[in-house]
Structure 1
Amino acid sequence: MCRIAGIVTNHFNEEIAGRQVTAMCNAMQHGGPDDAGLYTDVALGIAFGHRRLSIIDLSTNGHQPKADSQNLARITFNGEIYNYRELRSQLVKAGAVFTSETDTEVILQAYLHWGTAAFAALKGMFAFALYDARQQAVYLVRDSAGIKPLYYSTQNGQFIFASEIRAFNAAGFNLAADERWPAWLLAYGHIPEPFTTLNGVFSLPKGHYLCRQKNGRTELKQYITDTTLIKITTAAEAKQGIAASLQSAVTRQLISDAPIGVFLSGGIDSSILSLLASATAETQLKTISIFFDERQYDERQYQQAIIEKIPGQNFNHLVTAADFEELFPQVLKAMDMPTIDGINSWFISKYAHDGGLKAVLSGIGADELYGGYASFGRIKLIQYLRNLPRAALKSFSKIALNNYKRIAYLAYDHPAADYLFLRGLFPFADIARILDISQRQLKDILFGENTPLIRSPYNGELASWFETNFYMQNQLLRDTDVMSMSHGLEVRVPFLDEDFRHFTAQVDAGLKFNNGRPKQLLIDSFSNILPEAVWNRPKMGFSFPLTQWMRNHTNVSNEGLYQGKFAKEAIRDFKAGKLHWSKAYALYQIQKHG
């Protein structure tokens, strides 16, 4: 797990490029505190940079950027390849020569032997840049689930890439801000891919590679293709496959030469992972938990139900309002792009790092794949609401109740409008008033791309697609990555393992989503090990007492700091208990960066 950056240009100045890439890497040093590397080649016009967090092969053999023994290719790599040992065995039989035990070298040899077909063979979380000296081409590649971030820009005759947006600014590229980001934040609670806060800087799509040829031409291609799936329609087969494939994913993702543990919140997903990891870990498992003085957020009884079933050490940390007040500036500093999420990830990552861990397992993905959110029930309403006249849908923006105001999004025929009805932060008309722009301008920002409405049944499968490709992709995964890496911690997500996702996709929707209790099929698949106290409880999620903490925060609740009548009124509503903390947090970030 690392941070990467680089520049490719036909007008190469080695001194300038080396200085810029070094500045980019230094800005991301938190994500790679163990080593730094820089490779420049004047003839080729490339500068690759790397910051290393040592997880596999802790020796100097893991130093990057790394080349193969014949210097045919060079790579700067962020991530983990969980099946690298199996791939290595195949490649050795094919004649590959290895000089280290790293998964990085496996990527190089896989590419040299199999070309771009190698990308689909990699199972893990990854984002890397690879230079092919034979073709004089550079490839940017991102994993199929989009777990690891990778951003790029092709402005001013240069091809620039980095793991974090802050790196572009640190190098002095003087890229203008994308003035649309406040609208995206107020609508989504995050900046949706492929956009960023910088104009002309984009996120590489998951499951894709971008190839830049010597002549400067770029081509974006998807390397993951949909395969025909055999539907699983019996509960027994589904439960057996879920249990087996998740156990396999956990076992594979425990591979590490550095200390590894599990985030244990007390919820269903983290509890399952803790139990499975404990059963297969070569050493006693370490778990990390958080609790609060505020009783309604206290999950210690559920955490304890799991701790009693597994050997090992649990690091249990009390987080108080005073901790939040003291450390909130550091949370904001760690944030790479504005978001309403990530505070919880920052704190638990800090405690994991303080406990000596370099990697942890997290339960991200289970809710999205198995129906853990309220949106799985609400989505059925869309098919009825979309039969209303557009004027009637728009009129909902005038209703006093905020949740009903979101219906006005459905006046626009765009898949993002469906998602914003399900999960939108601020209603459409309110965003226009806060930013003092017309509704037509806002429409162009949110729905300007000519993306056809998804004409498919409004069911659990579609809700899963929305939650996976919007909420999880742009918010949960991105915020978890940047907040954990700010502490030099790697977060692994077994529920997004390629084989587990492939099996899940085969399970009939009726089994996955229509069993009464959310994630019932997942619960049933592990009923032999999961205590009833954990699954037979109200859903809480990994939540902090942020309503009270932010209400007492000097700056967040200070209406005098906010621009515009509507924003000031919103903060007054927040202090009066009429507005959710996430909305106040979004407004605070806009005024802070505005």
Structure 2
Amino acid sequence: MCGIAGIVAFNMVGQLHMINLSRATLALSKRGPDYQGLFTHERVGLGHRRLSIIDVSASAHQPMEDESERYTVVFNGEIFNFQEIRERLIAEGQVFRTQSDTEVLLYSYIRHGEKCLEWFNGFFAFAIYDKQENELFIARDRMGIKPLLYVHDEDKFMFASEMKALKGFGFDKSLDKASILQYLQLTYIPAPFTVFKAVKKLMPGHYVRIKNKEVKFSRYYTIPYDKKAPLQASYEAKQKLLVDTLEGAVQRRLVADVPLGSFLSGGIDSSVITGLAARHVDKMHTFSVGYRDEPFYDETRYAELVAKKFRTEHTVFKLSNTDLYTHLHDILDYIDEPFADSSAIPVYILSQRTRQQVTVALSGDGADELFAGYNKHAALFRASQPSMMNSLLSLGGRFIPDSGSRGGAFSNALRQAKRYANGLQKSPKERYRLWASFTPVAEAVQWLSPQFFGAEDAHEEAYRWYALTREISEDSTINDYLYTDCQLVLPNDMLTKVDLMSMANSLEVRVPFLDKEVVALAFSLEESDKITKGIKKRIVQDAFREMLPAELYKRPKHGFEVPLMKWFQNELRSVILDDLLNDDFIEAQGIFQAQAIRKLKKQLFSSQPGDIQALVWSLIVFQWWWKKHMGDSVSEG
């Protein structure tokens, strides 16, 4: 796991940016604390920061050249089946100098071009430069586990693992207004867009070739989903296939030349990963976080049951709300485009403390999006089933009172009932868009100043993430919603969160559920394999029922909510009123509707704040980001 950066200059103006290659690469030091390497040739520059995982010797440092010195690679990620590919290349006559997956990746491309992407089972973003052809090839993994951002203009093409490296090169910082609108809706900005007009994200499953001044993007992977041809097998056979496929995925991800462990939340997904890993690793190290001040969300008891069953070396980090708040500044400072998923805070702390003992951690991420594990999925399924309850809620939803809290079972249920009733009144596509959002688009527009986001901006581009919902129709099954989640929520929220927070602490996190074989299997299953009335993630639960402690099946999934409202009304009160949402600052900034922000603050500090914490947190994160990265400038973008 590493950080990469690079530039291809098209002319002398672009070449001026090459002098910043070292500074841009250094900005990725937390992604790769072990070594920095640079490569330049004429108008091409490549930079690499290394976190040593496989073949930790100096011979595996990057940028890495082939024996002829024609090709040079910088690579972020891991190819988990590299030994298998290595043997294939040796049979073709290839001689290797290292034991690294980087060299295998390089020679795979040299011998087979972009076709090698079909072989790779892992996560990656890499760039390979061909001196002879003066061509740069860049690719990103299938599911978007590893990030890759770029700037392309008439003078240059620049790329990097994070925005902070691109800022090291320098680029136009005009804001993308439509992205800010989408951020207010979703709490993140979906690819390929970013908060800046000049910067884009390479889409998952895509590659790009840069030769001379020609830049050509191509797609090499689409999730294999044929809704008309599901897997023909018994439910019992499907369960066995899932167990075998996922165990293979876990086993592949145990390859490392450094200490390795596993996150263990006490939920089904991380418990399954831990149990499968424990079959192949003696005394597996496992890590979980507990919440002293939020007992409703503390699931460490279940994690300890799993650890005991699989005889792991288990460590629990018991956190207080003060612990969470203490890390807030560091987290907000590391984020270099607005991103307001508040669960990033405990992920950051878990990664930080886990890194003190291991360099690699397995995670259960991705299972919910593949197998229907969220409350949203249960709601979408229920909404598609005709019932008297749905009819009553659709008619009477407006009479359900608003809930001002997520921190208790009753208030959380009330909030969900209100949201469910509102969704029942919409078409399946509009229902998904509502439930995938924290703030409806019409409301989000109202938070923006007319001078910043006026009528001329309220066109189709402002709703561009809606294009990702094209698979959803009146007769959609849960698989259509999951396919959409894998285009929208998974890469842009969940995987972004884990990558940012783990890399901020130089920890590599591996996600077996997103193995290409597991993904293919998941989308060959039928709706009834994944969800039925009252049962989410059905096949995952059933396939591993005998392996896991029975107690895991006897309690609801709680997730975790950071105590944002308590912070707003206490520790962050003066920051909100006197700094980030200060009236004078809002007016001078010119982005948000000043009157709307004043009303929001009044509601926030009233006795009935309502369910506004996601919006307030989004505003706080944005304002923090603005002050750090934009200063006092007001973009005309």
Do both proteins adopt the same fold according to a TM-score greater than 0.5, normalized to the shorter chain? yes
- Give the match for residue 598 of structure 2: 568
Q: Distance in 2 between matches of 1:139 and 1:554?
A: 46
Do the aligned residues in 2 keep the contact of 1:414 with 1:453 (CA within 8 Å)? no
Q: Distance in 1 between matches of 2:520 and 2:345?
A: 31
Aligned-pair CA distance for 1:25: 1.1
Q: Distance in 2 between matches of 1:507 and 1:345?
A: 31
- Give the match for residue 584 of structure 1: 616
Deviations 1:324-359 (A, max 9, x none): 2322100101213212221121111111112x2111
Deviations 1:452-481 (A, max 9, x none): 843542321112122222111100101110
Question: 1:541 is paired with a residue of what secondary structure?
Answer: coil
Do the aligned residues in 2 keep the contact of 1:29 with 1:51 (CA within 8 Å)? yes
Measured at CA, do residues 62 and 279 of structure 1 come closer, stay the same or move farther in structure 2, by a change above 3 Å?
A: same
Q: Which residue identity lines up with residue 32 of structure 2 in the other structure? A: G
What pairs with 1:157-556 in structure 2 (closer than 5 Å)? Answer: 157-214=155-212, 216-224=213-221, 231-281=231-281, 283-293=282-292, 294-341=294-341, 342-354=344-356, 356-379=357-380, 419-437=432-450, 441-448=457-464, 451=467, 453-454=470-471, 456=473, 457-514=475-532, 516-555=534-573
Q: Which residue identity lines up with residue 196 of structure 1 in the other structure? A: T
Aligned-pair CA distance for 1:374: 2.0
Q: Distance in 2 between matches of 1:513 and 1:191?
A: 29
Measured at CA, do residues 582 and 449 of structure 1 come closer, stay the same or move farther in structure 2, by a change above 3 Å?
A: closer
Aligned-pair CA distance for 1:28: 1.3
Measured at CA, do residues 13 and 557 of structure 1 come closer, stay the same or move farther in structure 2, by a change above 3 Å?
A: closer
Aligned-pair CA distance for 1:250: 0.6
Question: 1:280 is paired with a residue of what secondary structure?
Answer: coil
Q: Which residue identity lines up with residue 295 of structure 2 in the other structure? A: R
Question: 1:309 is paired with a residue of what secondary structure?
Answer: helix
Deviations 1:129-164 (A, max 9, x none): 111234321111011111000011111420100000
Q: Distance in 1 between matches of 2:146 and 2:432?
A: 23
Aligned-pair CA distance for 1:286: 0.9
Do the aligned residues in 1 keep the contact of 2:471 with 2:484 (CA within 8 Å)? no
TM-score, normalization: structure 2? 0.84
Do the aligned residues in 2 keep the contact of 1:146 with 1:473 (CA within 8 Å)? yes
Q: Distance in 1 between matches of 2:611 and 2:575?
A: 12
Q: Distance in 1 between matches of 2:604 and 2:459?
A: 27
Q: Distance in 1 between matches of 2:428 and 2:202?
A: 22
Question: 1:431 is paired with a residue of what secondary structure?
Answer: helix
Measured at CA, do residues 399 and 270 of structure 1 come closer, stay the same or move farther in structure 2, by a change above 3 Å?
A: closer
Do the aligned residues in 1 keep the contact of 2:5 with 2:48 (CA within 8 Å)? yes
Question: 2:102 is paired with a residue of what secondary structure?
Answer: helix
Report the more deviating stretch, 529-538 or 167-176.
167-176
Measured at CA, do residues 442 and 480 of structure 1 come closer, stay the same or move farther in structure 2, by a change above 3 Å?
A: farther
Question: 1:186 is paired with a residue of what secondary structure?
Answer: helix
Q: Distance in 1 between matches of 2:9 and 2:559?
A: 46
Q: Distance in 2 between matches of 1:533 and 1:46?
A: 57
Do the aligned residues in 2 keep the contact of 1:408 with 1:427 (CA within 8 Å)? no
Report the more deviating stretch, 12-21 or 366-375.
12-21
Aligned-pair CA distance for 1:496: 0.2
Q: Which residue identity lines up with residue 461 of structure 1 in the other structure? A: N
Measured at CA, do residues 7 and 548 of structure 1 come closer, stay the same or move farther in structure 2, by a change above 3 Å?
A: same
Measured at CA, do residues 217 and 15 of structure 1 come closer, stay the same or move farther in structure 2, by a change above 3 Å?
A: closer
- Give the match for residue 60 of structure 1: 58
Aligned-pair CA distance for 1:27: 1.1
Measured at CA, do residues 534 and 414 of structure 1 come closer, stay the same or move farther in structure 2, by a change above 3 Å?
A: closer
Question: 2:309 is paired with a residue of what secondary structure?
Answer: coil
Q: Which residue identity lines up with residue 19 of structure 1 in the other structure? A: I
Measured at CA, do residues 199 and 263 of structure 1 come closer, stay the same or move farther in structure 2, by a change above 3 Å?
A: same
Q: Distance in 1 between matches of 2:366 and 2:518?
A: 11
Aligned-pair CA distance for 1:579: 2.2
Q: Distance in 1 between matches of 2:144 and 2:507?
A: 18
Q: Distance in 1 between matches of 2:29 and 2:258?
A: 19
Do the aligned residues in 2 keep the contact of 1:3 with 1:31 (CA within 8 Å)? yes
Report the more deviating stretch, 433-442 or 515-524.
433-442
Do the aligned residues in 2 keep the contact of 1:429 with 1:439 (CA within 8 Å)? no
Question: 2:476 is paired with a residue of what secondary structure?
Answer: coil
Measured at CA, do residues 398 and 302 of structure 1 come closer, stay the same or move farther in structure 2, by a change above 3 Å?
A: closer
Q: Distance in 1 between matches of 2:574 and 2:335?
A: 16
Aligned-pair CA distance for 1:407: 9.2
Deviations 1:53-73 (A, max 9, x none): 000000001210111111231
- Give the match for residue 93 of structure 1: 91
Q: Distance in 2 between matches of 1:204 and 1:384?
A: 38
Measured at CA, do residues 243 and 473 of structure 1 come closer, stay the same or move farther in structure 2, by a change above 3 Å?
A: same
Measured at CA, do residues 409 and 445 of structure 1 come closer, stay the same or move farther in structure 2, by a change above 3 Å?
A: farther
Aligned-pair CA distance for 1:559: 3.9
Q: Distance in 2 between matches of 1:531 and 1:450?
A: 41
Aligned-pair CA distance for 1:410: 11
Whether 1:77 aligns to 2:75 is: yes
Q: Which residue identity lines up with residue 365 of structure 1 in the other structure? A: G
Measured at CA, do residues 210 and 406 of structure 1 come closer, stay the same or move farther in structure 2, by a change above 3 Å?
A: farther
Q: Distance in 2 between matches of 1:27 and 1:410?
A: 47
Report the more deviating stretch, 12-21 or 104-113.
12-21
Aligned-pair CA distance for 1:448: 4.8
Q: Distance in 1 between matches of 2:156 and 2:421?
A: 43
Q: Which residue identity lines up with residue 618 of structure 2 in the other structure? A: A
Deviations 1:531-575 (A, max 9, x none): 121122111124444443444322587345424232333344444
Q: Which residue identity lines up with residue 287 of structure 2 in the other structure? A: I
Q: Percent identity?
A: 29
Q: Distance in 1 between matches of 2:36 and 2:13?
A: 21
Do the aligned residues in 1 keep the contact of 2:143 with 2:486 (CA within 8 Å)? no
Aligned-pair CA distance for 1:208: 1.0
Question: 1:340 is paired with a residue of what secondary structure?
Answer: coil
Q: Distance in 1 between matches of 2:21 and 2:604?
A: 43
Measured at CA, do residues 343 and 449 of structure 1 come closer, stay the same or move farther in structure 2, by a change above 3 Å?
A: closer
Do the aligned residues in 1 keep the contact of 2:14 with 2:156 (CA within 8 Å)? no
Deviations 1:75-134 (A, max 9, x none): 100000000000000000001121101100001111111111001111100000111234
Q: Which residue identity lines up with residue 436 of structure 2 in the other structure? A: R
Measured at CA, do residues 439 and 17 of structure 1 come closer, stay the same or move farther in structure 2, by a change above 3 Å?
A: closer
Aligned-pair CA distance for 1:222: 1.3
Q: Distance in 2 between matches of 1:77 and 1:221?
A: 19
Do the aligned residues in 1 keep the contact of 2:32 with 2:506 (CA within 8 Å)? yes
Q: Number of residues paired by the alignment?
A: 579
- Give the match for residue 389 of structure 1: none
Measured at CA, do residues 307 and 579 of structure 1 come closer, stay the same or move farther in structure 2, by a change above 3 Å?
A: same
Q: Distance in 1 between matches of 2:100 and 2:492?
A: 30
TM-score, normalization: structure 1? 0.90
- Give the match for residue 390 of structure 1: none
Question: 1:196 is paired with a residue of what secondary structure?
Answer: coil
Aligned-pair CA distance for 1:17: 4.6
Do the aligned residues in 1 keep the contact of 2:472 with 2:481 (CA within 8 Å)? no
